[in-house]
């Protein structure tokens, strides 16, 4: 980021491999804030380029796999990609000696020369004058010819209803076929486009999108009210040909059955086409499930977590303050599982008709290496589901860090963890144990001195 020189108070956004859009800033904030937003957006676009062109994302075998065919052989990322990345960095406003060096170190011409001279060895052929220099240049010129006259910014689907086409679980690595399809859409406007109506299964593109959000956040580009978003087609293209009967396409299709939701809700609302059917489609936030009740102490009105999902506590309050607020609320709707060591929690709605199913799935993830307890004592994980209506708070923790059992004073043990570092403070629950340890060290040291004498 120190190499960013800025492109003024405007975003430079790459929309295809050889096309860019300039988005003027709305000037609703200071120049310093604007520059921070522009530089962050530029930095994210460099990462999107890297994901599009990196080879080792897909060309590796999973542990234990016996696949040895060409599709599963490791390949290094082509060095030409570094040259193209440097050119993109210059376009987005970055500059450094290394970037300038990579910009002029294209490997296309040397590769073309190596190919031509390898097919026509100088020992066997007589080259025309300057052939070895001019022939590779002609190859480079030929490679410049294929260009897109125009482009369409189309967003792929984030979720689908077909189980056969959902994202495969592959230790975070995309399948080669899925990656080759998704990389066509790995540009900022597609990744940061508006949310779509949720379906049953996430697509592989949605997984990549969430990875970007996890590292860089969701709000790096102008708000959805900016005119640039009107150019983004919200009718997703079909990722594969055999998926055409599931996901709508921007081209003309057969009439949809009555009741089928239209994916073009956003663009129809903004473009003013007068399509009454599209205008009747509600915003996804209006059709989403009713917001979960708030677990006082663990969260506030600005960060209410969904049900049945392990969530990091967004504030830095300690366990004492959290549990005081939770107890004072006398909440009878929720049961909260508190991971006090990790500053995390998960809440369940007691009147949820599928409560037992959600609890079973959740407890099954942690019962092998975690303890469950209330301040009255430990609970067998198999008993939690039957007793859940009488358990407004369940403490979840891993193996203890001291010799003395925390159950003697579990409250002090919970309080002992620093919310920022996750480590226990000195001189808390096991202070007596620590003193005994120090005493043994001093006794041993004294006995060693006596033996030397």
Full-model pTM: 0.46
Beta bridge partners of 232: 153
DSSP H/E element including 371: strand 371-374
Q: Give a yes or no: residue 363 inside a domain.
A: yes
- 232 and 352 housed in the same domain: no
Structural domain count, the chain: 3
DSSP H/E element including 16: strand 10-16
- Taking residues 11-34, report their average pLDDT: 72
- 157 and 283 housed in the same domain: yes
> At residue 188, does pLDDT exceed 50?
yes
Report the helix count and the strand count for the chain, using DSSP H and E: 16, 12
- 15 and 119 housed in the same domain: yes
- 262 and 330 housed in the same domain: no
> At residue 396, does pLDDT exceed 80?
yes
- 136 and 220 housed in the same domain: no
> What ranges in 250-318 are assigned the alpha helix state H?
265-271, 276-279, 284-287
Provide, rounded to the nearest whole percent, the portion of the chain with pLDDT above 90: 12
Q: What is the pLDDT of residues 273-332, one digit of tens each?
A: 443 333 333 333 333 334 678 899 998 876 788 888 888 887 778 888 899 999 999 999
- 175 and 267 housed in the same domain: yes
Distance (Å, rounded) from C-alpha 139 to C-alpha 208? 35
> At residue 200, does pLDDT exceed 70?
yes
> At residue 194, does pLDDT exceed 60?
yes
Q: Give a yes or no: residue 448 inside a domain.
A: no
Question: Token pair of 11, please?
Answer: 């975003």
Neighbours of 92 (CB within 10 A): 23
Contact 373, 410 (CB under 8 A): yes
> At residue 335, does pLDDT exceed 90?
yes
Q: Which of 6-10, 56-60, 417-421 has the lowest mean pLDDT?
A: 56-60
**Predicted local distance difference test score (pLDDT) of residue 342:** 83
- 23 and 127 housed in the same domain: yes
Query: Between the ranges 63-72, 264-273, 315-324, where is the mean pLDDT highest?
Result: 315-324
- 270 and 376 housed in the same domain: no
Q: Give a yes or no: residue 181 inside a domain.
A: yes
Dihedrals phi, psi of 410, to nearest 5 degrees: -65, -35
Question: Token pair of 105, please?
Answer: 């170190």
Which is more confidently placed, 354 or 428? 354
Distance (Å, rounded) from C-alpha 112 to C-alpha 138? 9
Query: Between the ranges 1-5, 26-30, 255-259, where is the mean pLDDT highest?
Result: 1-5
In terms of C-beta density within 10 A (0-12 exposed, 13-18 middle, 19 or more buried), how is residue 39 classed?
Answer: buried
In the structure, what pLDDT confidence band is assigned to residue 359 with cuts at 50, 70 and 90? very high
- Taking residues 44-49, report their average pLDDT: 92
- 226 and 327 housed in the same domain: no
- 273 and 160 housed in the same domain: yes
Q: What is the pLDDT of residues 369-388, one digit of tens each?
A: 888 999 888 898 888 999 99
Question: Token pair of 444, please?
Answer: 């041993």
Q: Give a yes or no: residue 317 inside a domain.
A: yes
Alpha-carbon distances, residue 165 vs 156, 257, 281, 300 (angstroms): 13, 22, 26, 38
- 207 and 87 housed in the same domain: no
Which is more confidently placed, 87 or 236? 87
Non-local (6+) Cβ contacts of 430 within 8 A are 402, 403, 404
In terms of C-beta density within 10 A (0-12 exposed, 13-18 middle, 19 or more buried), how is residue 42 classed?
Answer: buried
**Predicted local distance difference test score (pLDDT) of residue 351:** 92
Provide, rounded to the nearest whole percent, the portion of the chain with pLDDT above 70: 62
Q: Give a yes or no: residue 148 inside a domain.
A: no
**Predicted local distance difference test score (pLDDT) of residue 119:** 87
**Predicted local distance difference test score (pLDDT) of residue 104:** 76
**Predicted local distance difference test score (pLDDT) of residue 48:** 92
**Predicted local distance difference test score (pLDDT) of residue 408:** 57
Contact 298, 336 (CB under 8 A): yes
User: What's the mean per-residue pLDDT of the chain?
Assistant: 72
**Predicted local distance difference test score (pLDDT) of residue 283:** 37
Distance (Å, rounded) from C-alpha 197 to C-alpha 262? 9
**Predicted local distance difference test score (pLDDT) of residue 31:** 57
**Predicted local distance difference test score (pLDDT) of residue 433:** 47
**Predicted local distance difference test score (pLDDT) of residue 233:** 60
Alpha-carbon distances, residue 312 vs 1, 249, 305, 347 (angstroms): 28, 38, 9, 12
Q: Give a yes or no: residue 54 inside a domain.
A: yes
- 138 and 221 housed in the same domain: no
Q: What is the pLDDT of residues 144-184, one digit of tens each?
A: 777 666 677 888 888 888 776 666 665 666 777 778 888 88
**Predicted local distance difference test score (pLDDT) of residue 198:** 86
Q: Give a yes or no: residue 439 inside a domain.
A: no
Which is more confidently placed, 190 or 76? 190
Beta bridge partners of 344: 312, 339
In the structure, what pLDDT confidence band is assigned to residue 7 with cuts at 50, 70 and 90? low
DSSP string covering 373-435: EETTEEE-HHHHHHHGGG-SEEEEE-S-SSSS-GGGGHHHHHHTB-TTT-PBPTTSTTHHHHH
DSSP label of 123: T
Full residue range of the structural domain in which residue 341 is found: 311-433
- Taking residues 131-149, report their average pLDDT: 83
Distance (Å, rounded) from C-alpha 323 to C-alpha 338? 10
State the Cα torsion 442-446-448-449 to the nearest 10°.
Answer: 140
Distance (Å, rounded) from C-alpha 150 to C-alpha 19? 9
Q: Give a yes or no: residue 162 inside a domain.
A: yes
């Amino acid at each position: 980021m120190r190499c960013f020189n800025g492109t003024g108070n405007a975003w430079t956004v790459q929309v295809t491999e050889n096309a860019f859009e300039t988005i003027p800033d709305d000037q609703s904030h200071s120049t310093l804030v604007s520059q921070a937003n522009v530089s962050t957006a530029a930095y994210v676009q460099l990462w999107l380029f890297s994901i599009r062109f990196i080879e080792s994302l897909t060309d590796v075998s999973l542990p234990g796999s016996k696949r040895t065919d060409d599709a599963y052989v490791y390949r290094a990322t082509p060095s030409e990609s570094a040259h193209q990345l440097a050119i993109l960095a210059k376009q987005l406003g970055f500059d450094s000696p290394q970037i300038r060096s990579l910009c002029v170190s294209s490997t296309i011409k040397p590769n073309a020369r190596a190919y031509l001279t390898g097919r026509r060895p100088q020992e066997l052929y007589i080259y025309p004058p300057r052939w070895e220099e001019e022939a590779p240049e002609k190859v480079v010129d030929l490679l410049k010819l294929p260009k897109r006259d125009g482009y369409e910014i189309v967003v792929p689907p984030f979720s689908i209803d077909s189980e056969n086409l959902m994202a495969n679980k592959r230790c975070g690595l995309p399948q080669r076929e899925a990656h080759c399809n998704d990389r066509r859409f790995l540009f900022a406007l597609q990744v940061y486009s508006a949310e779509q109506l949720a379906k049953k299964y996430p697509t592989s593109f949605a997984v990549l999108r969430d990875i970007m959000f996890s590292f860089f956040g969701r709000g790096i580009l102008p708000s959805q009210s900016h005119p640039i978003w009107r150019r983004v087609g919200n009718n997703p293209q079909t990722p594969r040909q055999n998926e055409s009967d599931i996901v709508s396409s921007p081209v003309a299709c057969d009439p949809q059955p009555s009741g089928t939701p239209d994916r073009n809700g956003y663009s129809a609302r903004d473009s003013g086409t007068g399509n009454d059917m599209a205008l009747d489609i509600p915003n996804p936030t209006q059709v989403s499930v009713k917001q979960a009740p708030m677990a006082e102490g663990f969260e506030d009105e600005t960060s209410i977590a969904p049900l049945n999902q392990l969530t990091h506590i967004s504030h830095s309050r300690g366990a004492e303050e959290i549990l005081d607020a939770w107890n004072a609320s006398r909440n009878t709707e929720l049961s909260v599982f508190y991971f006090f060591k990790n500053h995390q929690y998960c809440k369940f709605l007691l009147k949820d008709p599928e409560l037992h199913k959600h609890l079973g799935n959740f407890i099954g993830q942690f019962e092998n290496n975690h303890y469950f307890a209330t301040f009255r004592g430990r609970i067998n994980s198999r008993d939690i589901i039957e007793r859940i209506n009488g358990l407004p708070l369940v403490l979840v923790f891993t193996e203890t860090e001291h010799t003395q059992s925390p159950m003697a004073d579990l409250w002090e043990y919970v309080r002992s963890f620093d919310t920022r570092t996750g480590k226990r403070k000195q001189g808390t629950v096991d202070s007596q144990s620590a003193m005994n340890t120090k005493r043994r060290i001093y006794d041993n040291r004294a006995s060693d001195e006596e033996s030397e004498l």
